[in-house]
Structure 1
Amino acid sequence: MKLRYWLLAFCSSCIVQPALAQSGQDTPKPSTAPAPEKEVFSTGVAKGRDRLDSATSTSAYRAAEFEKLGPRPLGDLLRTMPGLRVESGIGEGNANYTVRGLPLAAGGSKYMQFQEDGLPVLEFGDFFNIAADVYMRADFNVAAIESIRGGSGSTFSSNAPGGVINLISKTGEVAGGAVRLTTGVDYGEKRLDFDYGSPLGGGWRFHIGGYYRSGEGPRDIGFTGFKGGQIRLNVTKQFANGYVRLHGKWLDDRSPTFAPYAIRITGTNENPVIGDVPGFDIRRDSTLSPYIGPVVTLDGDNKLQRFPVSNGMHPTSTSIGLEAQFDIGGFTLSNRMRYSKNSGDFNRAFPSSITTVAALAASQGGAGATARYATGPNAGQLISTTTPINGNGLLMFSYISQTRARSLDNFTNDFRATRVWKLGRGDLTVTGGLYKANQQLYTQWLHTAINTDVAGGGRTAMVDIFNAAGVAQTLGGYYAFSRNGSKFRRIFDVSYDILAPYGSVNYHVGKISIGGSVRYDRGRVRGQLFGADLGGNRNGVVRFDVNGDGVISPAETRVAFLPLDAPAPVNYNYGYWSYSSGINYRVAEPFSVFARYSRGARANADKILFTPAVSATTGGVPDPTDKYDEVRQLEGGFKFRKAGATLNVTAFRATADDHNVLNGSANQTIRSYRATGVEMEGGYRSGIFSITAGATYTKAKITQDKLDAALTGKEPRHQPTWTLEATPQIELRQATLGANVVTITGSYAQDSNLLRMPGFTVVNAFAVIRPIRHVELMVNASNLFDQRGFFEFNQSEVPANGIGWGRSVNGRTVSVSAKYSF
């Protein structure tokens, strides 16, 4: 782990150089030129201002920089930004995000809001199985990615007490575009990216861009897992005192979802030894294959359906937005509005048990049970209990989750007015705004349960179990057409209406800037839920002739259905205040210090539905503390920028409440957390050499667990002490050579604080060659040294049989691309 300490040394003297991102007026086209002396930042603040005059912790990532890493999932790009903790490796979306030690009890992004051009993609970033990043792509349309951590993010956005991540679009100020073709060298994917923007005369300009791709992807799955793309367009009319802009977006993209897979875990809890099981490489194999599925289940209308496993993660989105900003009578008036029609099908297979052939057969068929292949080239063949199949002799019992997002539509409108008055020798900036949003949640949870072997190379096949009398206990590899009986067969049909007035005051005089902001969020939640696990007279398991042969087999007695005649209402309101106050002192031109205290909150969305928090008879929430979770943050630090060197250091202390459900299971959590630490980001440039780097040190604990007192005082799971990243580069006239290095230190696999997950380092290298004008050739290697690195173990301690399952980073993938700019 020597590389970790080299990174730490870099981070102590470097800061990520932000781009000239979107200002309070408009967004410039990114350039490969060095960042200007005045670095303007606008996300999550009242008005764009120089970072050294703002009491906030912010970062910006230029397209010219993140494009060097190649076309990658948004989560992989955000892992390289300081202050953020990202658990990726799941696929194109549904990664897990948090910041500054705020809890990551379940998936998605609970405390940070994801935005495109200043408006949320989804109002809540942690919907079960469908996080906000599922509907976002960092392609050629993106000029910069901005992040604000803590600070005024809680008062200038709803449900964002931890901060905001904002993808800012190019808008065509300068005529030009690009086309890039990318192909995998050692994996199957081909991709076309394009964009073009230009002024049109008369104050008009436009930008359009997108991508299309197809291929198997970074893991061996045996079929085309990636297929689809995105197109985004904006048109701007510039006036003497402002502008009007129309946005459009169309997304239809399919990609596989990867899950925890079989691994060997031996050694001790404190120092486990992790390895592959024979015949299965955790870095590049998957239990997805052409021989798995389809997902046979009753649908939301209790009708038999078959969903292809190849659906994977399949979001569809069509959105239209209008943005305007004008200076009128000394006021700057702005309004952003967007309507998005979001839907999609999402499935993933995740293990419930991985054990020997004999043990799995006995668990389902009793003593003397046997196993035979149900699909694949060996269909019908008896599976030996003595000669290890696939070299490992393992079978896996898995659930396939089929989530149908019938509607995640949302409408958002954010209006604000700002005016700057001269007051004494300083400037008084006053802002007032009104935010209105509606978020739909209409999803169906459908599950089925299957048996498979554990085979690499896209060869995993389904397995049938027979009892000692030869009677099949499964049907074509399906043990049940449900999950644990009736559990998790659900329909969510809920609407969230949000109205939030907000305002801020900032006074800047000489070297001092002091200000504060406040917001009141009022929510109205209405709808209904369907599911047998709501209790009462709702039954959830029936006998159903799935294969239509007129005989009910054992598997056909385990068919889950929805009690559509017995809905439970959802009917409650909530309200909470958020506020933030900070002071910044510009000690000298290149140096400033700041301090800030913020209180924000996050409304609890689907994580309290189907729990005792919401009454299944009235739809109300009797305990007001269940309606939202509060976050308080104290931060302070300094910023330095001079002659090619920058350094930002922020110390923080955060407390947070969390109502959650672990991994979509029945394990509800109600907790309080505390985290303290320091985040650093820096950069240095001298001649042809430059480096940007970041580091976050965090110590966190569960200060109270209201449902399991034994966990009070424990360290939260998946919380590394250090997260480190660095990107050194050498810039020549006709070539750029560099690497991005990310390290996370070890953490506990579960909140019980027994089994520790080892830390790991991933190196992503790139080489960009410019042989002639307008042409770039790029080689990109992700995970150059083919390291194993785990974000998740499902076990809480070393398993007795040495077999566990975990989610790892993908192995090494190398791509080449050719880009033509015009």
Structure 2
Amino acid sequence: MHTKKRLLLLSVTLLTFSSPAMAQITPAAGQALAAGADAAERSRPATMSSDASQPNQEATAPANKESFSTGVAKARDQLDSATSTSMLDSETISNFGLRDVPNMLRLIPGVRTEASSGEGYANVTIRGLPLSANGAKYVQFQEDGLPVFEFGDIGWASSDEFLRSDLNLAGVQAIRGGSASTFASNSPGGVINLISKTGVAEGGAIATTIGLDFERYRLDFDYGGRLSDTLRMHIGGFYRQGDGPRAIGLDGERGGQVKLNITKEFTGGYIRFYGKYLDDRTPAYSVAPIAITGSNANPKYRAVAGFDPTHDTLMSKYVTGLLTLDGNNQLASYDLTDGQHPVVKSVGFETQFDLAGWTITNRTRYSDISGGFRSAEQVVINTATAVATQYGGAGATLSYANGPNAGQVIANPATLNGNGLLVPINFGNLDFHSLNNFTNDVRASRTFAMGKTELTLTGGFYKSRQDIDVDYLFGSVLSEVKSDGEAALINLTRANGTAVTQNGYYSYGPGFGSVRLGHLSMKSTYDVAAPYASANIKLGKLSVGGSLRYDFFDAEGSYRRATGYSSLDVNGDGIVSSAETRVSQFDLTTSSPLDYSTEYLSYSMSANYRFSQSLSGFLRYSRGGRANAERLIRNSFVDLTSGELIDSSAAVDTVKQLEGGVKYRNNGVTLQITGFSAEADDTNGFRGTPFTRTYETKGFEFEGEFQRGPFRLNTGATYTDAEISADNLTPSNVGRKPGRQPDWIFQATPQITTKNFSVGAAFIGTTGSFTDPSNQLRQPGYITTDAFARYNLTDYITVSVNANNLFDVLAITEVNDTTIPASGVGLARVLNPRAISATLSYAF
């Protein structure tokens, strides 16, 4: 392995620094990344000055929205690039009030986002690649060109949880497929890059936002500008507090973020230092009870009595703490109101300069990441009578464990809250001790002009280190189903008077569906090293290119899991109750090792033909890899004794993609039509059961923009025909559609902008799908509508109103059930309800 590594590093070095005598220099991707931010900053109101006249090359890169830099070797006009790309500008993000990343991504064509868990923990994929678990397995989230995490699907710690959209954001770039396989590790499906402002535009803003039909109070600010002729800066952030868009009965939103960067310009380049501090809490929405009637082929979904799955959650002001044992078997109480709680302290730098005719770009960032994730993980729901009998036996009785009716017996469980339901809940408590990430990416690029021929060479080396030091802890309770965040815990008593629960707790560990959810303590580190290179030759109107990347991957660490229950006097009263016999503890004297390595090649080949100034066509084939990380531990793919993988093929999943399309841009009209096919491997687990599957998908996507005068229309639609082609766990799934895979996803965003006002709407939707690979129960499609209106009171003061899910649509993203349940009540994840807010902003 070490010999291979030395040879590859030597090859990249030779490629990077070999150069003909008469070479000409062109800007590299780092400049264009800054240019994308610069362009967005220049879109400020006219009252704000721009420093575009400054002489530095990085500051004066063309403010051209067609130039794209994410996941490619060199920024190019999109019509000269054999990739499928999209951009989202900061003005659109601000107009629609998209201050959470998952909902923002719903506006990007080809990106399927299940934004039902709050301001993070969304399921994200591209072009029909599978969503068999949470997070974004095949998609990498970046911030200013570097990954947030090396892996997008860390359990309960997906990348979007650790990102925030505020006035720092200049725009978003997304690449689907294409060269993402070779210009980023572990991202064969694509890359989504959030780009920060860098002080190119002089001025700033202060904005105050208030929820009109829900409780939210938020203050945003930013300021950027020049400190001298060669020095500029930008600072910005936000702070907010409130319940959030759903009724939880308490302040679930509280916290904020501050980001700062300083750029020093010099002849031929720049160096930028930046920092970020994020400490924010937002609710972690989970599945909710929902009534399901009709037939599997034509089900009807509606709210149960006394509980609206769109507006309500099982979070409650009466259930704010979780009592369980921590990773060291010490009794601890955790604050459930933390919800999604990311804590990020990042520092980094970016530099670009010329050396011997080459443009060198280096980006480095270290992020100290901790926090936690706390949510209700419902496993089953049934009538109160059935739950009482199941866990307490015949004649068992129910009573309130807390809340205003604490101690009162529930005389008629069948009429409880008008719905007669109880839900056994596993409260998940994830302690993120360290998700620290270090990343460095250095690359060199040069374009050689030889008559009418241009040859562009790029070589680079990527190094990252990702910690996953997490305790997965649980506690199990019985809860009523009640709206407005007022659900109380329920005690269960057997007919002979023996208590089954203690203050509503059934167990101090995973008591319901314990195969699916188990106490686990993990301390692991993943190292990635990847040399990469590309070559692109332009022969008149034809461009032909190729790129490759070789990833070296090392995993090491240890972990321990609680495999059963023990007894412990949790409340210290000298008596071990029934619930106290169900306590999950770790054996602190032993642990299982993690110790394996792998390596894999990714490559991409493309051709692009520029038929005319306004029309081009392209073709590309790519093979990319995704190294699997902590999911291999959680789903028992690791040998308990050696730390090696039981099956070495589980280390890496590959994605093979063929895509081709045409692009058109002329006189305010932009069109992209792309056909694609892909084959993707997936090594994963479902409710504690490991599996390996292969998926095949094909389809096409459309993206368009039309602009005339004050009117602008952005549209996008993706058709996907996907099926499972191999399944080691359930062979009968072969030939079936993956769960939650709609045939169509689509968006349309019309806007009208004049000097003093703007109005617009965003229509986003999907067609129906099946709830799981058994292809029995149908899940309905939906269309949600976002809208905004903005008016400039003066040259400096603006007032705006925006609404998300304006018509309060029940938009289901996931259903736990495979068929209609006998009780007629299931569990589903849904998008947020209507949320209307008003913003008053002052620009200076």
TM-score by length of 2: 0.93
Q: Distance in 1 between matches of 2:562 and 2:250?
A: 36
1:600 alignment partner AA: G
- C-alpha spacing 1:150/1:287, structure 2 compared with 1 (3 Å): same
| Alignment correspondent of 1:488 | 518
Q: Which residue of 2 aligns with 1:511?
A: 541
Q: Distance in 1 between matches of 2:692 and 2:267?
A: 53
Give the deviation of 1:811 after TM superposition: 1.3
Corresponding residue for 2:700?
A: 678
Structure 2 vs 1, CA of residues 518 and 386 (structure 1 numbering), >3 Å: closer, same or farther?
A: closer
Q: Trace 1:328-367 onto structure 2 (pairs within 5 A).
A: 328-367=355-394
Distance (Å, rounded) in 2 between the aligned partners of 1:370 and 1:332:
75
For 1:518, give the aligned amino acid. L
In structure 1, the partner of 2:691 is 669
Look up the equivalent residue of 1:782 and give its one-letter code: N
Alpha-carbon contact 1:481-1:556 (below 8 Å) kept? yes
> Is the CA contact (8 Å cut-off) linking 2:635 and 2:689 kept in structure 1?
no
Q: Distance in 1 between matches of 2:291 and 2:128?
A: 29
Q: How far apart in 2 are the matches of 1:111 and 1:332?
A: 30
Give the 3-state SS of the residue equivalent to 1:133 in structure 2: helix
CA distance in 1, matches of 2:348, 2:250: 36
Query: 289, 292, 297: which one pairs with 1:262?
Result: 289
Aligned runs of 1:69-84 on 2, under 5 Å? 69-84=96-111
Tell me if structure 1 keeps the 8 A contact 2:385–2:414. Answer: no
The residue correspondences of 1:112-151 to structure 2 (distance < 5 A) are 112-151=139-178
Q: What letter corresponds to residue 333 of structure 1 in structure 2? A: I
The answer for the alignment partner of 1:532 in structure 2 is 562
How far did residue 36 of structure 1 move? 7.1
Query: Alpha-carbon deviations, 1:771-822, whole Å to 9, x = none?
Result: 2111111100111111101001110011112111111111111100111111
**CA positional deviation for 1:622:** 4.4
* Deviation sequence 1:32-74 (CA, Å, 0-9, x none): 4999777110001111111100000011111011111114310
Residue 724 (1) aligns with residue 746 (2): yes
One-letter amino acid matched to 2:650: D
Q: Is this contact kept in 2: 1:357–1:385, CA < 8 A?
A: no
* Distance (Å, rounded) in 1 between the aligned partners of 2:143 and 2:546: 25
Cα distance in 1, alignment partners of residues 666 and 734 from structure 2: 46
For 2:385 and 2:142, locate their aligned partners in 1 and report how far apart those are by CA, in whole Å. Answer: 50
- Rounded to whole Å, the distance in 1 between the matches of 2:64 and 2:234 is 27
- Specify the alignment match of 2:18 in structure 1: none
Q: Secondary structure at the match of 1:388?
A: helix
Q: Secondary structure at the match of 1:353?
A: coil
Separation of aligned partners in 1, 2:338 and 2:202: 38
The yes-or-no answer on 1:645 pairing with 2:669 is yes
**Shift of residue 217 of structure 1?**
0.7
- CA distance in 1: counterparts of 2:63 and 2:663, whole angstroms: 16
Q: In 1, distance between residues paired with 2:33 and 2:565?
A: 57
Paired residues for 1:788-799 under 5 Å: 788-799=810-821
SS at match of 1:588: coil
Counterpart residue number, 1:235: 262
Write the mapping of 1:41-52 to structure 2, written as runs, cut at 5 A.
Answer: 41-52=68-79
CA shift for structure 1 position 327:
1.7
Tell me the equivalent position of 2:329.
302
1:294 Cα offset (Å):
1.6
Q: For 1:520, give the aligned amino acid.
A: Y
Structure 1 residues 349 and 386, CA gap change in structure 2 (3 angstroms): closer
Q: 2:304 corresponds to which letter in structure 1?
A: V
Distance in 2, matches of 1:408 and 1:684, equals 43
Aligned match of 1:497 in 524, 527, 532?
A: 527
Instruction: Give the direction of change, closer, same or farther, for the CA distance of 1:29–1:233 in structure 2 (3 Å limit).
Output: farther
The match for 2:32 is 23
Which string of whole-angstrom CA distances, capped at 9 and with x for unpartnered residues, describes residues 553-574 of structure 1?
1100000001121100001001
The counterpart of 2:836, out of the listed 796, 814, 818, is 814
Structure 2 counterpart of 1:67, which letter? S
Does the Cα contact within 8 Å between 2:383 and 2:414 map onto a contact in 1?
no
Match of 2:181, SS? helix
Which residue in 1 is equivalent to 2:710?
688
Report the Cα distance in structure 2 between the residues aligned to 1:52 and 1:412, rounded to whole angstroms. Answer: 31
Matched residue SS, 2:381: strand
C-alpha deviation, 1:532, in angstroms: 3.2
Give the deviation of 1:146 after TM superposition: 0.3
**Aligned-partner SS, 1:578:** strand
For the residue of structure 2 that corresponds to 1:456, the secondary structure is coil
Q: Which residue of 2 aligns with 1:599?
A: 623
Q: Which runs of 5+ in 1 are unaligned?
A: 1-19, 534-539
**Alignment partners' CA distance in 2, 1:22 and 1:190:** 37
Given that 2:720 and 2:744 are in contact with CA atoms closer than 8 Å, whether structure 1 keeps it comes out as: yes
Of residues 24-33 and 710-719 in structure 1, the stretch that sits farther from structure 2 once superposed is 24-33
Q: Is residue 2:250 matched to residue 1:223?
A: yes
Match of 2:566 in 1: 542
Q: How does 1:246-285 map to 2 (within 5 A)?
A: 246-285=273-312
- Indicate the larger mover: 326-335 or 33-42: 33-42
Residues of 2 paired with 1:614 and 1:787: CA distance? 43
Q: Which residue of 2 aligns with 1:756?
A: 778
More divergent stretch after superposition (24-33 vs 77-86): 24-33
In 1, Cα distance between equivalents of 2:784 and 2:634: 39
Q: Which residue of structure 2 lines up, in the alignment, with residue 408 of structure 1? A: 435
Structure 1 stretches of at least 4 aligned residues deviating more than 3 Å after TM superposition: 24-27, 31-38, 484-487
- For each residue in 1:627-655, what CA deviation from the matched residue of structure 2 results, as whole angstroms up to 9, or x when unmatched? 10000000000000000001001100010
Distance 1:545 1:640, change over 3 A: same
Q: Which residue of structure 2 aligns with residue 779 of structure 1?
A: 801
Mapped contact 1:403–1:446 kept (Cα < 8 A):
yes
* CA distance in structure 2 between the partners assigned to 1:153 and 1:295 by the alignment: 42
* Aligned AA (1:181): T
Distance in 1 of aligned mates of 2:662 and 2:750 = 24
Give the C-alpha shift of residue 706 in structure 1: 1.1
**Contact persistence 2:38–2:63 (CA under 8 A):** no
Q: Give the structure 2 partner of residue 290 of structure 1.
A: 317
Structure 2 vs 1, CA of residues 21 and 686 (structure 1 numbering), >3 Å: closer, same or farther?
farther
Among all aligned residue pairs of Structure 1 and Structure 2, give the percentage whose two residues are the same amino acid: 45
What secondary structure is seen at the aligned counterpart in 2 of 1:362? helix
Q: Which one-letter code corresponds to 2:38 in the other structure?
A: P
CA distance in 2, matches of 1:198, 1:243: 16
The separation in 2 between residues aligned to 1:384 and 1:591, in whole angstroms, is 73
Paired with 1:39 and 1:800, the residues of 2 have a C-alpha distance of: 54
Amino acid in structure 2 at the alignment position of 1:652: F
